Amino acid sequence: MSIDYAERIPNNVELASNRTLQRALEHWQPEFLNWWKEMGPTDFNAADVYLRTAISVDAKGWANYGYVRMPDYRWGIFLAEPEPDRRVGFGDDFGKPAWQQVPGEYRSALRRLIVTQGDTEPASVEQQRLLGHTAPSQYDLRNLFQVNVEEGRHLWAMVYLLHAYFGRDGREEAEELLVRHSGDADKPRILGTFNEPINDWLSFFMFTFFTDRDGKFQLKSFAESSFDPLARTCRFMLTEEAHHMFVGDTGISRVTKRTLEVMRELGTDEPEAVRRAGAIDFPTLQRYLNFWFSSSLDLFGSEASSNAAAYFANGIKGRPDEKKYEDHLARATSVELDVPDGKGGIRIESVPLRNAMNEVVRNSYVEDCMRGLGRWNRLIEAAGHAFRFSLPSTRFRRTIGNWANVATDPAGQPISQAQYDAQIASWLPSDADRAFIASLMVRVVEPGKMAGWIAPPEKGIKDRSIDYDYVRLA
């Protein structure tokens, strides 16, 4: 198979003159396409979808809109423009030149981090593969596919790094990224949340709000990396990631709006009445939120971590927006963490800041999530209702870190296992909740029409109207 590189794989890594990289990608690309056909969105490969494609990194080229069949999407390889004379921004080597090649001593750590990030990208495509059949509108269907093709491109971005900088073991890892599958009993995806099924659009919106936002913070940490090709790759990915979170944020806003409308028509906020009218009651939304938020918290890792300390000390992975901190060495400070005291209470433990980097990143993430909840709550407040969405405590329902498998209520208060078991069904989506949400998932194909459980968006994509024909079904 021969490839017209500039046309087929838009890139700014001089692919046309790099024979080694060409050979590696020539081998990998057909495997990627096979994976897309087997594990990507089912039954929509012949549809023309109004998608944006990045064809260069400048303001004009990064968002080109037009109809594309997904298997023909031009998955490109882009790095943000280099910063001249870029320096290591944190850790023990602060101020030294950034690395253009992988330092031998950090090779396995960097490879592991790139593989772990890379694994999440196709995982989410796999998780979302059936959603096209129940899209609440053409607009939403198009957004789903935009997210899917861009997660595919993010996989390409990580595979580029593996191929270009990690030799044979990088190529092997790139193949494994197509062999593990979300939820697979034998070869699951690496991180827990990426093995959770996404069977309905409420889960999709929660995932794009909470789990893609974890991605944002991971990418922001890597954007600080001293390994400059990784930093530049992740800086460009962040421009695309913003749309994924927009889909989640506005998706939940639209569900909230629709619920408020129905509550006004009915003159009640009684959940059963709201459900009978075909909208999603707020307590159910809160349970879905509890599920996806708490699952996503684990993705940041343990509160105290010697790996995180080493990544920071060595300049491999920094803090999001490292420039906002004054002290880039983080050597002398410590952080207080709440840990279970083993007797059903909480005690405070002091940990060196470098070891607490996962917690620093998680806290920035939680703050960012709060801003979304604030927007949804303002809609509810403006409509005169008392309900407010809230984020569970970072201690609730954790499976990684200090609070792993410690029973707490959503506020983070330790409780007995028996109390937890008795109440967990009221804190997370029950089978009945999931069956109700599933019953709402009916496909709406007429342009501009919305399913009854979600309000229309405020505007269309790019400069198109809401009733634009975003997906032309074959």
Site residues (vs Fe ion, CB under 5 A): 121, 151, 154, 212, 241, 244
Whole-angstrom CA distances from 273 to 98, 126, 200, 209 are: 60, 35, 21, 27
Q: How far is the CB of 151 from Fe ion (least distance, A)?
A: 5
- Cβ proximity to Fe ion: between 212 and 224 the closer is 212
- Cβ proximity to Fe ion: between 222 and 396 the closer is 222
- Cβ proximity to Fe ion: between 200 and 212 the closer is 212
Q: How far is the CB of 241 from Fe ion (least distance, A)?
A: 5
- Cβ proximity to Fe ion: between 213 and 258 the closer is 213
Q: How far is the CB of 121 from Fe ion (least distance, A)?
A: 5
d(CA 251, CA 245): 9
The length of the chain in residues reads: 474
Whole-angstrom CA distances from 233 to 163, 276, 319, 364, 442 are: 14, 48, 17, 22, 38
State phi, psi for 461 to the nearest 5 degrees. Answer: -95, 140
d(CA 389, CA 372): 10
d(CA 204, CA 128): 7
Q: How far is the CB of 158 from Fe ion (least distance, A)?
A: 9
Q: Angle at the Cα of 236 (from 67 to 293), degrees rounded to 5?
A: 90
d(CA 125, CA 153): 11
Q: How far is the CB of 133 from Fe ion (least distance, A)?
A: 21
> With contact defined as beta carbons under 8 Å apart, do 466 and 459 qualify?
yes
Reduced to 3 states, what is the DSSP secondary structure of residue 239?
Answer: helix
In our burial notation (b when 16+ CB lie closer than 10 A, e otherwise), range 427-439 reads bbbeeebbebbee
- Cβ proximity to Fe ion: between 119 and 212 the closer is 212
**340 pairs with which residues across the strands?**
346
- Cβ proximity to Fe ion: between 212 and 269 the closer is 212
Q: How far is the CB of 213 from Fe ion (least distance, A)?
A: 9
- Cβ proximity to Fe ion: between 238 and 428 the closer is 238
Q: How far is the CB of 418 from Fe ion (least distance, A)?
A: 39
